[in-house]
Chain A
Amino acid sequence: MDSMTLIAIASIVTAGLTIALGSIGPALGEGRAVATALSSLAQQPDAAATITRTLFVGLAMIESIAIYCFVVSMILIFANPFWNHVIAQATGK
């Protein structure tokens, strides 16, 4: 197996695994955050504005982990430096 095939296989598999495994943690965390927010809203409905705002800020921070994984996956597929280097070598040959 030459290096070009190896790089392609590694990039594709890693891109898929990155986004697959990387979304599990944030999804679980966001579920727990929303559940706790709902129960505290039920306990204190007049603090709804503060709770909602804090919930959204917390969700955005948790979501950013999934976004990092997505960005890495996109880089591996579309802006892969190793693939570009190998392609440049293959066409320059």
Chain B
Amino acid sequence: MRLSPDEMIFWQHGFLKLNGTIVFTWALMFVLTAGSKLVTRKLSTGMKRSRWQNLLEIIVTGIEQQIAEVGLRHPQTYVGFLGTLFLFVAISTLGTVIPGFEPPTGSLSTTAALALCVLVAVPFYGIEEQGLGGYLKSYVEPTVIMLPFNIISELSRTLALAVRLFGNMMSGTMILAILLTITPFIFPIAMSMLGLLTGMVQAYIFSILAAVYIASATRARKPKPKQAAPAEA
């Protein structure tokens, strides 16, 4: 009973191992990059455009709109990072319809890596927006006593991101594997459709949570307005 694609070894040379997670991640990277390159070879700004360009525009503007709704100003700066997170997890889930493909997000290594990217990106964007002092001061809000709790909440958010995505993906593939040994055709298909749905929802959740964390780090702290002195009567 395979718990994750880490255990599928394709090639081994002493210490270096080429396991399923790495190979499927490379395949995803290749598909996403080559596909985008092919579609954006001849971009047109007129009314006549290819349907693939249309599809990509729908996806990119949709992601930008969601980022703006979360409350981030200038969504164009974040659409690269957050869009990549969403697309990677989404295409990795959609790829399960291809027989033989194991989603690389079903391995704790991949999801931990993605969560660590978010952990690094939050201070990066926070310092870029507010400066180092401004960002570090946000850790001691509302009082200095909250400093350890704020730090712990940062780390536990990262852990929760990683385990949530890993648990959802692993449970989907494991339920499918178990059902295939028990029941005939129809029930595993229903469960794989459920797996696709939860995978897409988890992709959306991952990127929206990353956007919310970045938004809370880049929120401008407005200084409290001074009370106007009462005018002399």
Contact = CB atoms under 8 A, between A and B. Distances in A.
Interface stretch (B34-42, B114-122, B197-205, B220-228): B197-205
B8 interface: no
Contact of A68 (B167, B202, B205): B167
Interface stretch (A6-14, A32-40, A71-79): A71-79
A81 to B, nearest CB: 13
Decide if the interface of chain A is mainly helix, strand, loop or mixed: helix
Interface residues of A, number: 16
A81 B217 CA distance: 39
Interface of B is mostly: helix
B170 A60 contact: no
A57 B212 CA distance: 10
B209 A57 contact: yes
A79 B2 CA distance: 10
A79 B163 CA distance: 16
Given A53-B69, A57-B209, A74 B201 contact: no
Contact of A56 (B163, B205, B212): B205
Nearest to A54: B208
A56 B201 contact: yes
Contacts of A61: 160
Given A50-B69, A70-B167, A79-B3, A64 B160 contact: yes
Interface in B67-85: 69
Given A53-B69, A56-B201, A57-B209, A64 B163 contact: yes
Contact of A71 (B66, B166, B212): B166
A86 interface: no
B150 interface: no
A67 interface: yes
Interface of B: 1, 3, 66, 69, 160, 163-164, 166-168, 170-171, 174, 201-202, 204-205, 208-209, 212
Interface of A: 49-50, 53, 56-57, 60-61, 63-64, 67-68, 70-71, 74, 78-79
In the complex, the 6 A-B pairs of residues with the closest C-beta atoms, listed nearest first: A67-B167, A60-B205, A64-B164, A71-B167, A78-B3, A78-B1
Given A60-B164, A68-B163, A70-B171, 7 more contacts: A53-B66, A56-B204, A57-B205, A57-B209, A61-B160, A74-B3, A78-B3
